[in-house]
Amino acid sequence: MTTEPRGPVDSSRVPRYAGPATFARLPRLDEVARADIAVVGVPFDTGVSYRPGARFAPAAVREASRLLRPYHPGLDVSPFAAAQVADAGDIPVNPFDINEAIETVEEEAGRLQSEGTKLVTIGGDHTIALPLLRAVSKRHGPVAVLHFDAHLDTWDTYFGAEYTHGTPFRRAVEEGIVDTEALSHVGTRGPLYGKRDLEEDRRLGFGIVTSSDVLRRGVDETVDALRQRIGDRPLYVSVDIDVLDPAHAPGTGTPEAGGMTSRELLELLRGLAGLNLVGGDIVEVAPAYDHADITSFAASHVAYDLISLLTLDSAVPREEQR
């Protein structure tokens, strides 16, 4: 006997601005027997190189997510009916010791995934992608990575530090936890320290689709190229909100002009439907620099699309999800 998933609070009975601010007003993890998908926050920004504040993102994104609704017309899925989705709260990490914080995130992410639960993580800065990739690779082996970001995040060190928000994907390649035949950056742009940055990134195995490429090629051609590169490999998607132009995401730590629109990002994500997605994150929202919650709203929709993609293979028939 199966139990129907417990979904969000009914907004026709309780106004969206009332009640606890769980993601999309979903039940807490301790309120359900188990979860197919858990949304978890990591309020951590000790790894940033410029503007801090992403430690406040999980709360801000949850607040913005109150407006989300249960049916996704773009993917033709009702994610909260197709799977049990729950809010797992935040992983408490040490804000003064980056090495301990990384260990904590890896351990807690592994614990949350121990019964097959897939995670959608709200950062925090991009440092957390490394322990999240460590945890997911323990279940699936080296994973394909689709990295949406203005920046490469494959630098070696900052001020001699190996673990920062600009180094997680270099460390991931070095540790052998990602599939170097299926690594892609999407949305990169802006000045670099030198041409060597691109050469080293290519040596690590990454393919690059710049923000300008998305503009010139369009969403459909870009999606086709990404799908060919990923194939049927287990896929992890990491989204730095600064992949969006500052007009669409002003609340972030290292903004770069010339980014994608929120519409382009969401359409690229929706183009991943049917791939073997095993988890994802949305990072680098810095609410103190936001205006009218623009960035938090965009991030909440990214998380919602990741959840929806994760539920597409559910056994619940599409016609029953409406």
What is the per-residue pLDDT across 28-70, written as a single tens digit (0 to 9) for each?
999 999 999 999 999 999 999 999 999 999 999 999 999 999 9
Cross-strand partners of 235: 144, 277
Rounded to whole angstroms, the Cα distance separating 308 from 62 reads: 16
The residue with greater pLDDT, 1 or 169, is 169
Contact in structure between 191 and 155 (CB atoms under 8 Å): no
Provide the pLDDT for residue 313: 65
Provide the pLDDT for residue 12: 85
Using alpha carbons, list the distances in angstroms from residue 39 to 91, 133, 145: 11, 16, 19
Rounded to whole angstroms, the Cα distance separating 129 from 127 reads: 5
Give Cα 314 distance to the centre of its chain: 21
Provide the pLDDT for residue 118: 98
Angle between helices 294-311 and 262-270 (to 10 degrees): 10
| pTM of the entire predicted model | 0.95
pLDDT surpasses 90 at 270:
yes
Cross-strand partners of 178: 143
